[in-house]
């Protein structure tokens, strides 16, 4: 399966898992938009969701509406538990994530990791836009894995071997809608207080959690325990 193309993986996933298949898209990177476009051509009924942490950029919310209009697709917006967020903010403060790695990971866990895990409980497989050259933490990304932390769901990363140049080529060829901040120096867009523009030639994800060391720059969604899925 590691030799399969993105199109082959997506067509196989629809045959095997529909209707319990979904796309996990951040709307802050073009890869997720490419997957929405590709799967819309294969099966327009494939579901897609986004995590609304409550701290996203206005441009990200705008893109969600543009995708709905372009594809006639209902984007499922997943929210964190309100009481957990209120308790965290009451105890730690609004911008506590700048103060320590522990606080930042707590914020990501409450606003992103736990809501995603709850949402995925209704599926058998999900698709992500992870690529190996996005950062060092993703260099060994397999195209098909088992997400042990999410109860054994199949996790599909069909763009794992794509280069950044190939991503841009697909976006341009198919006129895929992307976050307007990509044109303003934001190659990767997360929560507003945790993302800033980067300089020409800088690592594309260097604007994410810029106050941290490179080896800690993950929110926790894609560093959970996984197993090889090649035998599925």
Question: Which amino acids are annotated catalytic?
Answer: 219
User: In angstroms, how far is CA 192 from the centroid of its own chain?
Assistant: 15
Alpha carbon distance 182, 125 (integer Å):
29
| H helix intervals, the chain | 6-17, 30-42, 58-71, 82-92, 101-108, 114-120, 164-174
Strand order across the 47-51 sheet:
75-78, 47-51, 21-24, 125-127, 153-156, 144-147, 226-228
**Three-class DSSP labels, 95-125:** CHHHCCHHHHHHHHHHHHHHHHHHHHCCCCE
- Cα separation, 74 vs 122, in Å, equals 17
What separation in angstroms does the CA of 126 have from each of 103, 107, 148, 159, 172? Answer: 28, 23, 13, 13, 25
Task: Compute the distance between CA of residue 203 and CA of residue 121 in angstroms, rounded to an integer.
Answer: 34
């Amino acid at each position: 399966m590691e030799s399969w193309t993105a199109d082959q993986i997506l067509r196989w996933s629809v045959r095997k898992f529909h209707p319990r298949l979904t796309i996990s898209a951040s709307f802050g990177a073009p890869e997720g938009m490419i997957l929405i476009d590709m799967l819309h051509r294969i099966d327009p009924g494939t579901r897609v969701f986004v995590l609304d942490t409550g701290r996203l950029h206005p441009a990200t919310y705008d893109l969600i509406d543009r995708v709905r209009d372009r594809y006639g697709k209902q984007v499922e917006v997943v929210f964190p538990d309100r009481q957990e967020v209120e308790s965290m903010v009451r105890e730690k403060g609004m911008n506590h994530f700048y103060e320590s790695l522990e606080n930042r990971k707590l914020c990501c866990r409450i606003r992103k990791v736990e809501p995603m895990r709850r949402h995925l409980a209704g599926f058998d497989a999900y698709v992500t836009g992870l690529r190996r050259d996005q950062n060092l933490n993703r260099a060994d990304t397999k195209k098909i894995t088992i997400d042990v932390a999410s109860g054994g769901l199949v996790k599909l990363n069909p763009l794992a071997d794509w280069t950044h140049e190939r991503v841009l080529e697909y976006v341009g060829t198919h006129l895929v809608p992307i976050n307007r901040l990509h044109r303003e120096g934001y190659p990767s867009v997360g929560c507003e207080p945790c993302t800033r523009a980067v300089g020409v030639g800088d690592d594309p994800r260097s604007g994410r959690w810029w106050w941290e060391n490179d080896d800690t720059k993950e929110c926790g969604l894609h560093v959970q325990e996984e197993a090889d899925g090649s035998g599925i």
